[in-house]
Amino acid sequence: MIKSWMVIGGVTFVVALAANFITPSDRRWFKSLQRPRWLTFEAAIPLIWTVIFICGAWSAYIVWEKNPSTTETWLRMGLYLLLEIATIAYTPVMFRLRSLKIGTIIGAIGFIIAVILTLAVLPVSGWAALLLVPYLLWSPIGTYTTQAMTKLNPQDK
């Protein structure tokens, strides 16, 4: 029998793969952009997001195991999926449109979804809500960083 953690982990992994659909010219565009001097942690960003995605998947697993197959749980799973899609959309959409402003907007939308999700899972499990805190802390940093890059690269708004 397939376990819930396998399904949640598999969906998380498959959706995360969508971020890899960027072209070499998209990468060159992003690498050519000016960055704030304080952005010294850029190399750690993939690791940070990996931890955040693991925490999100673990949070979803906890919520699912509390009340599997109820309508409310399915709605919460939909919110988890929506949050991951919004988060993953940041890179390919921003790169394809070559718009830091769009990246900032997507980042802000992700944060809003994360707040709604955290409030939705809090009554089910404090631990599940706590596992979403890394997203709530990091997302504004990423969004602010993109906004700061917009000011340094006005041609790429």
Sign of CA dihedral 133, 138, 144, 147: negative
Residue with tokens 């990246």: 103
Closest CA to 79 of 125, 126, 127, 114: 114
Rounded Cα distance, 64 and 105, in Å: 30
Q: What is the mean pLDDT of the chain?
A: 90
Rounded Cα distance, 85 and 56, in Å: 13
4 pLDDT higher than 80: no
Tokens representing residue 141 in the block: 């940093």
Question: What integer is the mean pLDDT of 44-57?
Answer: 93
Q: Provide the pLDDT for residue 125.
A: 97
Half-sphere exposure of 147 (CA within 13 A, CB side): 11
Q: Provide the pLDDT for residue 24.
A: 78
